[in-house]
Structure 1
């Protein structure tokens, strides 16, 4: 049982979500994306605007993990954005914990909440896209039962740098 509470995000949470998203991305992409481009893609304001809109329109659904009165992580999930996926396929659009809270159960609490939300929406499977060089995220998702679909590997552009990504998938039952 997790000591973190997870609740739906409110508009007031957008700045904290953006700060976690930025600090985590900087840690994760260090050594993968050149430092100058990493710095350029680290605008908390742009991420805050994105997450405010996501929260306002519930696309994706956003939930936050709370430790005491502080937001320490978030998850965005909804139906899959992949064109050929079934209506019963959900997707983890983003899942991040503050680097100060890595390996402390935040991700598990967020995953549990997202899984429950996707099941409520009628989803039977869930996918996520993860950079192949993000070993931390791959380990996390695989420990949660996701399996790599290597035939889905694609190149995404992150901060002007090409990053190889792979889709992971698991059943929700």
Structure 2
């Protein structure tokens, strides 16, 4: 059984472990190998502990058998053109060895209900144009490509195009 709970700073290490392993799996062949290999668990753990403790973003955990399987982070949209009623899915990652088992979908449904309860009516996210797997997932979840121009994201000394997707939050 999958349990969805809010993260605490004590969860930061497990969140960081999935973050790094999912990046290495999802972005192999996209981001430079040296960049992916250089990801520091200690730095990522410290960053997530601060983010979780700060409360600017909600971090939801998907656990089964007391083991973290995936997580999702969301908050108010950071885009300057976004209305106050728009949330943003900041990040979502599932342990790569259990991709395509419904964990991401369960996290998204729970987050969607939470966003709606917080008064948000829409949600946006940014996804790399090269990330076909993520685009398929988000499109199936109800997101549609936005008409706004893409933005450039730098990783490992290289620039990548990211596109914004939007969805109406279900009630």
Aligning the two structures, in what range does the TM-score lie when normalised by the shorter sequence? over 0.9
Contact 1:148 1:168 in 2 (8 A): yes
* Superposed counterparts of 1:10-25, under 5 Å: 10-25=8-23
Q: Give how far 1:151 is off.
A: 3.2
Give the root-mean-square deviation of aligned CA atoms: 1.1
Aligned mates of 1:145, 1:9 — CA distance in 2: 25
> Does residue 1:69 correspond to 2:63, yes or no?
no
Query: Gaps (5+ residues) in structure 2?
Result: none
Question: Pick from 2, 25, 28: which aligns with 1:27?
Answer: 25
Aligned to 1:149: 146
What is the CA deviation profile of residues 96-124 of structure 1, one whole-angstrom value per residue up to 9, with x for unaligned ones?
Answer: 00001100011011101211111111100
SS of equivalent residue, structure 1 residue 164? strand
* Superposed counterparts of 1:130-141, under 5 Å: 130-141=127-138
SS of equivalent residue, structure 1 residue 166? strand
For normalisation by structure 2, the TM-score amounts to 0.95
Aligned mates of 2:119, 2:157 — CA distance in 1: 37
Aligned mates of 1:85, 1:12 — CA distance in 2: 32
Aligned to 2:124: 127
> Does residue 1:58 correspond to 2:50, yes or no?
no
Q: Give how far 1:152 is off.
A: 2.8
Q: Give how far 1:87 is off.
A: 0.3
